[in-house]
Amino acid sequence: MPYQWIPVSSPARLRLWPHRSLTRRGFVAFIAVTSFLGALPIAATLGNAALWVMLPFIALTLSGLWIALTRHAAGPMIVEELTLSPTQITLTRQDPKGRQTWEANPHWVRVTLHPTHGPVPNYLTLQGGPREVELGRFLSEAERITLHAELNAALRA
């Protein structure tokens, strides 16, 4: 799941991030398979003038894929961190637009799951303090339902 409770911390901490579909191993496998498939026409033209015509295009394709995938993986990432202590709950969201922080007293915080009235199904919000904030919009529907139950249990504890 793209969220994790930090186990060894005095105030309970929850860290959320969007799912990345291409892992490092997947990246290496994709580039290796693409290189192999690009080498097939080159192997068929060894010793022929057509080799020098195809070689730059295959190299350009591989380098373009490499650059695009590495820039996407190194790009800005959205991270939400929720800190829950007996006296204060803090939600910090870091995204490409900057850093946003929300604070409230945990006694007054309500975790609400909106099944249909939100931008995504089972929209999860925290209400308390000056405003209502969303939590884990990038999570899947099932993950938001599970997180709702876990947050309610953490707030009761």
Please provide the DSSP assignment of 107-123 as one string. Answer: TT-EEEEESSSSSSTTE
Q: Which residues contact 75 (CB under 8 A, 6 or more apart)?
A: none
Please state whether the predicted TM-score (pTM) of the whole model is above 0.85: no
Q: What is the dihedral of CA 20, 21, 24, 27, to 10 degrees?
A: -140
pLDDT digits 0-9 by tens, 72-126: 877 667 899 999 988 999 999 998 888 999 999 988 999 999 988 888 888 999 9
CA-closest candidate to residue 136, choices 156, 157, 150: 150
